[in-house]
Amino acid sequence: MVIATDWARLLIVCVVFTAAAGAIAWFTGLTTPKPFINAAVRALLQLAAVSAVITFVLTHLGLTGVFLAVMAVVATATSARRTGTGGRGAWVAAAILIGTVPALGLLIGLGLLPVQGIALIPVGGILIGGAMTATTLSARRALDTLKDRHGEYEAALALGFTEPTAVRELIRKPSAEALIPALDQTRTVGLVTLPGAFVGMLLGGAPVWQAGALQIVVLLALLAVEAAAVATVVELVARGLVRRTSQAGEVRLT
């Protein structure tokens, strides 16, 4: 009976928050409630599915690798869709993985991250998720800038710049704005934000110093991963490997 009551409360809170987000966006003209409903339903279904298999996955190292690979594929597909790059969006996988794989390798190689699913999946998910966000934001800013400042691009070509050099000069600074969330999170950790790794370890009974040490390693790894992602996006756009397949430059929230 107590468990049923807790689930009912949880459901009510989830519905209230989703409805509030949709209502605010609707009445202020930001967007329709549909993206919030879709996101909430997908989160519910995905977490339910993960909860059903995660215990089994965590006990099998091979399945842990498969799970991380699925994370990377989904992150690539999400970023490609958000940037409107279509089939060329497969190139964003390079931006997502170019920093994530070495970061995980370094943590494992130094013995800071045990080769166990219980450690690899959450840390890998944090790094892949951060790289995905940085890739999406930087690619959108780069492609928007290239479109809006096309005249400057042509002027640079007329002055003798090569195409990649002209593009780099235009998109570097706008693309770097994608690093602001990660930088702010790192600067304000402990004062404004208490990230998941820190809180999770505390709730699991780990010493405070150990939780703090792990969190600072994850945050700094995230900075390196996202910086690598943004730098890679700049290079991919400059070389013409990432381009929009249409003029759909507007944000799609669905």
pLDDT tens digits, residue range 128-164?
999 999 999 999 999 999 989 888 888 988 988 899 9
As a whole number of angstroms, the distance between CA 170 and CA 145 comes to 7
Report the chain's terminal Cα–Cα distance, integer Å.
37
Helices (H), 59-83: 61-83
Return the structure tokens found at 130: 């951060």
Residue 53's pLDDT band (cuts 50, 70, 90): confident
As a whole number of angstroms, the distance between CA 179 and CA 230 comes to 8
Reported pTM: 0.82
For residues 229 and 98, the answer to whether their CB atoms sit within 8 Å is yes
For residues 67 and 121, the answer to whether their CB atoms sit within 8 Å is yes
For residues 99 and 131, the answer to whether their CB atoms sit within 8 Å is yes
Q: Which residues of 206-237 are buried (b: 16+ CB within 10 A; e: fewer)?
A: eeeeebbebbbbbbebbbbbbbbbbbbbbbbb
76-119: per-residue pLDDT in tens?
999 998 888 877 778 999 999 999 999 999 999 988 888 888 88
Residue 47's pLDDT band (cuts 50, 70, 90): confident
